[in-house]
């Protein structure tokens, strides 16, 4: 198939199906063929059913242009392959040129999906989604099966608002995150000492992407369920990575596929959490754990505003969701920031100047304060520019809850909406020289409204913004303080597995250096 090569997303998400002839197959030839046949029939029947409804919609309304392609799959393979290879902008530009419209439709994950333009389409998606009378949150069904039905991103309406209020009040709100500052800094210092300084020499090459994933995973797992045992953490982390890759896998739940492996990983993660939940219940009874010790304690002791206490299953799925959201995306952004900083000496020099000014008025070893973090303003523009070039979430989905008119087209109820970062973040009509790494663009004028949404937007904006921001700023402070580095492979390919990463783990050559 065109576009499917050795760097294809398909190679990693479909995986190797078990041999039809080998004795190791638990299905046997006939059994596996039966499963494949039933799956094919289900796809065809689903397509026939959805196709009839689609044709009726298109007869009755002037809908956005577009070719829905193959049954069920439609443009899924082409879109996700572009996602994996970071060529979404090329994909979108090709569609716009073909249909003559910045608003067009395609079939993704079995659903008719309208690509919205920027900034007007993005504004509509975020603002009209606030009361959900027109637009509500949406994730593809295959993704929801992986994250679970009771997590925040899967909810809508009053249930969503109640859940988010509980999360912000007790765990992720600005004032609450301030309480974690000491733990975040301690974790950052220990991580840099243990993984970057001890046992290395000047010229040592470390895979930054993989080492940073250790830091963010251990930090968020500690905040969520006081997971401090290194052996336990190392046992769990690879399973999380298998699960995360399934979020953008072809939704074929057959042995050997990436999606099947991710579903298995999800079950293993929830099973891992089970003894932690039961043990914590006893510790809370005994007084050996506190109600605010971590997110697990909070979920066990704090009901929501309706008086509902979270069930064990809800607790486990929410912790899974939070660890992934807090660890994977932060590690990805830090990796990309470290790559861009070393490529731009003027950015590095300005960062050193900012962090020197923060440190020079403090005693040696004096911890950072909230004011110190707030004063890392240039550092934050570096992170913002990194997220513009390498967004952790390259696309945001919504669902039409009512039929409405937009840009001369009718969008029927039930159709899905998608705004891609590529249509905004890499748009030369919005950002001058969009391919250029230039943090000063956020110093000068900031981002135009509804064109920069690395954390989403509207009422559904990511609740973890403050935790992510503090974690990245504190880590970069201590990284800049102790190390200089260069890229060991400047031409390394950037790829996406839900979040940005590099094909070889982003190897960097380090030099120990006390900068301030």
Binding site as annotated, residues for heme: 462
Residue recorded with tokens 């807090």: 326
Residue recorded with tokens 């040129």: 97
Spacing of C-alpha 127 from chain mean position = 22
SS3 288: coil
d(CA 403, CA 38): 34
Query: Residue 167 contacts by C-beta under 8 Å, 6 or more apart in sequence?
Result: 152, 463
SS3 113: strand
d(CA 317, CA 161): 18
Spacing of C-alpha 179 from chain mean position = 25
SS3 419: strand
d(CA 161, CA 129): 12
SS3 135: strand
| Dihedrals phi, psi of 132, to nearest 5 degrees | 65, 15
Q: Which residues define the annotated binding site? A: 462
C-beta separation of 219 from 184 below 8 A: yes
C-beta separation of 311 from 217 below 8 A: no
| Dihedrals phi, psi of 443, to nearest 5 degrees | -75, -40
**What strands lie across the sheet with 483-487, from one edge to the other?**
205-207, 507-512, 483-487
Centre a 10 Å sphere on the Cβ of residue 486 and count the other Cβ atoms it contains. Answer: 12
In 205-328, which ranges are E strands?
205-207
Q: Count H helices, E strands: the chain?
A: 20, 12
Q: Is 275 exposed, middle or buried (0-12, 13-18, 19+ CB in 10 A)?
A: exposed
Cis peptide before 323 (omega within 30 of 0): no
Bridging pattern class, strands 416-420 and 111-115: parallel
Residue recorded with tokens 């009378």: 133
């Amino acid at each position: 198939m065109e576009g499917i090569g050795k760097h294809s997303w398909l190679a990693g998400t479909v995986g190797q199906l078990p041999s039809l002839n080998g004795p190791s197959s638990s299905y046997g030839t006939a059994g596996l063929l039966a499963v494949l046949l039933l799956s094919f029939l289900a796809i065809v029947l689903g397509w026939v059913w959805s196709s009839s409804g689609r044709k009726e919609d298109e007869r009755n309304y002037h809908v956005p242009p577009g070719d829905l392609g193959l049954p069920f799959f439609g443009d899924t393979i082409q879109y996700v392959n572009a996602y994996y290879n970071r060529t979404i902008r090329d994909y979108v530009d090709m569609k716009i040129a073909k249909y003559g419209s910045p608003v067009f439709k395609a079939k993704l994950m079995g659903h008719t999906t309208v690509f919205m333009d920027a900034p007007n389409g993005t504004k509509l998606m975020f603002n009209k989604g606030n009361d959900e009378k027109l637009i509500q949150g949406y994730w593809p069904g295959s993704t929801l099966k992986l994250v679970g039905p009771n997590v925040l991103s899967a909810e809508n309406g009053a249930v969503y608002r109640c859940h988010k209020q509980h999360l912000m009040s007790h765990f992720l709100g600005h004032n609450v995150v301030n309480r974690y500052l000491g733990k975040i800094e301690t974790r950052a210092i220990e991580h840099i000492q243990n993984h970057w300084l001890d046992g290395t020499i000047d010229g040592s090459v470390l895979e930054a992407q993989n080492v940073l994933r250790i830091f963010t995973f251990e930090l968020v797992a500690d905040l969520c369920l006081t997971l401090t045992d290194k052996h336990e953490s190392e046992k769990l982390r690879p399973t999380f990575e298998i699960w995360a890759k399934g979020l953008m896998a072809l939704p074929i739940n057959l042995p050997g596929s990436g999606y099947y492996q991710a579903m298995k990983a999800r079950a293993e993660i929830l099973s891992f959490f089970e003894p932690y939940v039961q043990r914590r219940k006893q510790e809370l009874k005994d007084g050996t754990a506190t109600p605010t010790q971590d997110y697990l304690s909070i979920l066990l002791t704090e009901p929501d505003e309706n008086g509902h206490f979270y069930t064990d299953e809800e607790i486990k799925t929410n912790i899974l969701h939070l660890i992934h959201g807090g660890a994977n995306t932060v590690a990805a952004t830090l990796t990309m920031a470290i790559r861009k900083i070393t490529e731009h000496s003027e950015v590095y020099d300005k960062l050193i100047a900012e962090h020197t000014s923060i440190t020079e008025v403090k005693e040696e070893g004096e911890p950072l304060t909230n004011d110190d973090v707030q004063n890392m303003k240039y550092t934050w523009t570096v992170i913002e520019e990194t997220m513009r070039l390498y967004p952790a979430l390259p696309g945001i989905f919504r669902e039409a809850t009512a039929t409405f008119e937009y840009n001369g087209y009718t969008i029927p109820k039930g159709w899905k909406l998608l705004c891609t970062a590529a249509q905004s973040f890499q748009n030369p009509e919005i950002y001058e020289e969009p391919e250029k790494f230039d943090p000063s663009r956020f110093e000068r004028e900031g981002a135009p409204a509804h064109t920069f949404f690395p954390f989403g937007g509207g009422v559904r904006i990511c609740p973890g913004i403050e935790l992510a921001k503090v974690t990245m700023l504190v880590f970069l402070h201590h990284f800049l303080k102790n190390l200089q580095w260069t890229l060991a492979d400047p031409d390394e390919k950037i790829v996406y597995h839900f979040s940005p990463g590099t094909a070889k783990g982003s190897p960097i050559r380090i030099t120990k250096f006390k900068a301030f």
